[in-house]
Amino acid sequence: MQSESAVRAPVEEMDFAVLLEESLAESKIERGDIVSGTVLSIDSQGLIVDIGWKQDGIVTRGDIERMGMATADFQVDAEIDVAVVNLHDSDGNLILSAAQARQNEDWKRAEEFMNNETLWAGEIVDTNKGGVIVSFGHLRGFVPASHVLDLPRGLKEDERLAHLQSLVGNEVSVKVIEVNRKRRRLVFSQLEAEQENRAARKEALLNELVEGTTRKGVVSGLCDFGAFVDLGGADGLIHISELAWHRVRHPSKVLAVGDEVEVFVLNLDAQGKRIGLSLKRLQPNPWTLVDDMYHIGQLTEGVISRLETFGAFISLEPGIEALLHVSQMSANSEENPLRHHYEGQKLLMRIISIESDRQRLGLSLTEVTAAEMAQWEERQLELVAAAAEAAQREAEAPESDMPAEDEPVSTE
């Protein structure tokens, strides 16, 4: 026959196991958790809900009204999903939220959007000093100012707030970059969404464009190495060497942001997502005219476009860049002839070589005779004098007889 202590031991062990399981279950409930419960009672102040914890929780009337409902819409013993808001408020109550639980599906969807890198189109419904608020189902997500598209830089605080406020009501495309249910933190980026949109548009454009064809676009940006052209939602690049047949020092010398241009589709790189464009391929190649315009031994005028240690590049008409080698700049081999020349200087030179197929034309200063140089310099002085005289005559000319803008004009 078993002793009383032997019978009591399994019972005590079982009770301990139950208590341990209940204790572990209680410890797993944290603020922000979504749990299922049963409605125990209903009154004008809200609901009492059993969630299987050490104490019942309260769903306030205000929480229910935020869902556009009333306490009368619920029934005792009904199952309900709630979010844990506060394990112990100032009165020791467990505070639950049915409204936040209803948002659970939106939180799941937000996580899916983030994991799948899916873009969301939502309305800007509010703003604060840190950025703008975008609706996401029953949730509101935050777009930091640093992630707001086209936010002007250098604005004062009040100007920045006014600009952000002006965006309220706009529908924008955003990317989900952070989801934290427990902290109720949902963060979007409009900039990253725009980058992905442009990448998608470029992909479509790459499939649409054909090398060797032309396309109209708008200059969207300039940099040292070329110009970017918006071809309809995606940019292509005109490298600086493709802006003109002559050498271009900077793209701003040829184009300005906002210019409408027709470009030649030079090359397409689907793997690198690059679109190469050209302006000069739509212009006549001046080197095809060289053999008709120039011949060896001919005297020609040109302007120094660039100085290098080995000589000077000379701009000739129509858009030809020729080379004046340092060995052809002075007969005195003991001095550095580059010291006597500067960019923008106009010179008289003789053509000593032409290789139009290789786009090369050689010039010489030393092969210009003293008589030829003296005659040319005299002519330059005459041109300068004539220009000065014309400017003087224009300055001394009597004022126009036309009436001033605010002077009435007789109609008689």
CATH of the domain at 233: 2.40.50.140
pLDDT value at residue 252: 93
pLDDT value at residue 410: 43
Other beta carbons less than 10 A from residue 192's beta carbon: 17
pTM (predicted TM-score): 0.54
Q: Is residue 383 part of a domain?
A: no
Tell me: do 310 and 360 sit in the same domain.
yes
Tell me: do 339 and 263 sit in the same domain.
no
pLDDT value at residue 409: 44
Tell me: do 320 and 264 sit in the same domain.
no
CA gap 83, 138 in Å, rounded: 14
Strands 94-97 and 235-239: unpaired
pLDDT value at residue 218: 95
Whether the link from the prior residue into 318 is cis, omega within 30° of 0, is: yes
Are 55 and 94 in contact by the 8 Å Cβ rule? The answer is yes
Q: Is residue 17 part of a domain?
A: no
Query: Domain span at residue 184?
Result: 117-195
Tell me: do 263 and 233 sit in the same domain.
yes
Residue type, 19: L
pLDDT value at residue 272: 80
pLDDT value at residue 13: 55
Listed in sequence order, the residues at least 6 apart from 13 whose beta carbon sits closer than 8 Å to its beta carbon are: none
Which residue from 347, 292, 340, 341 is spatially nearest to 322, judged by alpha carbons? 347
Q: Is residue 385 part of a domain?
A: no
Are 91 and 160 in contact by the 8 Å Cβ rule? The answer is no
Tell me: do 366 and 294 sit in the same domain.
yes
Q: Is residue 204 part of a domain?
A: no
Q: Is residue 50 part of a domain?
A: yes
Into how many domains does the chain fold? 4
Q: Which residues of the chain have pLDDT under 50?
A: 1, 24, 405-412
Q: Is residue 22 part of a domain?
A: no
